[in-house]
């Protein structure tokens, strides 16, 4: 079965950096579009960034543009989210999700078929 496992979260000071990983397994197609989402306490889940199955098309939310970079290594079945210049408002549980559509990536939660359990990111002094 399809499984997604996030890792790399933790506590970091404002201005610091963190790299999240999403390890995928069990896909029935070679590669899926992958999205990163986050959910802060008391807030709805929001899209952060996404990447196409080939890795040649990406989107980033305005709130993280210029600070976060998404990438993937298909040989390792892993997608990364490099987070720089972190702010307290970046705090939340970060999830990766897989979309099996043969289309470009999207930040809409509705199109994603599979979700990981999430990893906590806390940005605080």
In this predicted model, what pLDDT tens digit does every residue of 60-93 receive, in sequence order? 999 999 999 999 998 888 999 999 999 999 999 9
With a cut of 70, list the residues of the chain below it in pLDDT: 29-30
Is 99:2 a contact under the CB 8 Å cutoff?
no
DSSP code, position 14: T
Query: What are the strands, taking DSSP E only, across 1-125?
Result: 3-7, 10-12, 18-25, 33-39, 46-51, 58-60, 68-73, 78-83, 92-99, 114-115, 119-123
Residue 84 has a CB neighbour count (10 Å cut-off) of 14
Give the length of the chain.
125
Look at residue 103 in the predicted model and tell me its pLDDT.
83
Q: Closest Cα partner for 34 from 83, 88, 81, 89?
A: 81
Look at residue 48 in the predicted model and tell me its pLDDT.
98
Q: Distances in Å between the alpha carbon of 20 and those of 56, 93, 122? A: 19, 11, 13
**How far is residue 20 CA from its own chain's centroid?**
7
């Amino acid at each position: 079965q399809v499984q997604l496992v996030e890792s790399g979260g933790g506590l970091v000071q404002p201005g610091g950096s963190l790299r999240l990983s999403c390890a995928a397994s069990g896909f029935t197609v070679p590669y899926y579009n992958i999205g990163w989402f986050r959910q802060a306490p008391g807030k709805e889940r929001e899209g952060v960034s996404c990447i196409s199955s080939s890795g040649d098309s990406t989107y980033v939310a305005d709130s993280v543009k210029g600070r976060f970079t998404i990438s993937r290594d298909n040989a390792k079945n892993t997608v990364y989210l490099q987070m720089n210049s972190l702010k307290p408002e970046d705090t939340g549980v970060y999830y990766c999700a897989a979309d099996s559509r043969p289309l470009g990536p999207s930040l809409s939660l509705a199109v994603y078929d599979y979700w990981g359990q999430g990893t906590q990111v806390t940005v605080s002094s």
